[in-house]
Amino acid sequence: MEMPGSKHIDNSIYSGSMRGLSGKTAILFDELERRFIYGTYKFGEIIPTANIAKEFDVSRATLTMALNHLRFEGYIEIVPQVGSRVVTPSDRQVHDYFIMFSLIEHQMARFAAERRTPESLRDIEDICQRITAMSERIVVPNYEFIDLIDLYHMAIRRAADSVMEVQRASGYFRFAAFFLMNGKTINFSDVVRHSNRNRPFVTKYIAEGNVELAGEAMKKYILTGAPLDQTNARVG
């Protein structure tokens, strides 16, 4: 049950099973979440639930469970007499989300700098290099690019070695990507350029075990790529 044309790097990165789902419900949740992130369903659009149930050959109960969890995650709202609709966040809500996201990732980077292992560090460094290489040879964003950045954040979270908090934060990057891909017009060339410049600093400070600078570099990395009017993040 995978989107046509999908070729994901690691289906387990943010799978529905990490959100407490199982079976067809988890699989359906995964695919619908990807459609929100990749812009298949835009802000304010009504979800074609009957078509989805037929496409994935799932019962109404399974579809309802997946939709309820998507509502809990913040992707959709249930409108009486209308159905399920993709949310339309205000500029302020998007702004506040990215501020909170940057603070969570700031702490994850600090944990990673403190608790990294040679193996986890190799993963972070390898993915960092792969992201830069991919951005230089293809038109971005696309699903492979988003998944690879997703993998970078997960590598840092794994290096942070805080299982409970990683599970709690498992959907934060996906929701940030949802805002970026469906929100106001963004010059992704600028976003990618700024990110490619800042991401190596995150990797460098984690490798050096510099807790303070790893956290500050992560905040700057996120906020320079976020749809914010102003960013005050600095790397010390």
Q: Tens digits of per-residue pLDDT, 136-186? A: 887 766 778 888 888 899 899 889 998 767 666 667 778 888 887 776 556
* Of the residues 86, 112, 138, the one at which a domain ends: 86
Dig out the tokens for 111 from the structure.
Answer: 């944990």
pLDDT band at 187 (very low <50, low <70, confident <90, very high): low
Is the pLDDT assigned to residue 19 strictly greater than 70?
Answer: no
- Contact between 29 and 74 under an 8 Å Cβ cutoff? The reply is no
Average pLDDT over residues 211-226: 92
User: 3-state DSSP call for residue 77?
Assistant: strand
Task: Dump strand ranges (E) for the chain.
Answer: 76-79, 83-86
Calculate Rg over the CA atoms of the chain.
18
- Contact between 77 and 220 under an 8 Å Cβ cutoff? The reply is no
Give yes or no: residues 205 and 124 share one domain. yes
In a domain, 3, yes or no: no
Complete DSSP assignment for 29-65:
HHHHHHHHHTTSS-TTPBP-HHHHHHHHT--HHHHHH
More confident residue, 149 or 210: 210
pLDDT of residue 221: 93
Q: Flag whether the pTM goes above 0.95.
A: no
* Of the residues 27, 51, 86, the one at which a domain ends: 86
Average pLDDT over residues 38-46: 88
Is the pLDDT assigned to residue 114 strictly greater than 60?
Answer: yes
In a domain, 231, yes or no: no
In a domain, 10, yes or no: no
Residue 169 domain boundaries: 91-223
Give yes or no: residues 60 and 95 share one domain. no
More confident residue, 25 or 233: 25
Rounded Cα gap, residues 146 and 226, in angstroms = 14
Nearest to 83 by CA among 63, 59, 101, 103: 63
Lowest-confidence segment of 15-24, 40-49, 162-171 by average pLDDT: 15-24
Cis peptide before 141 (omega within 30 of 0): yes
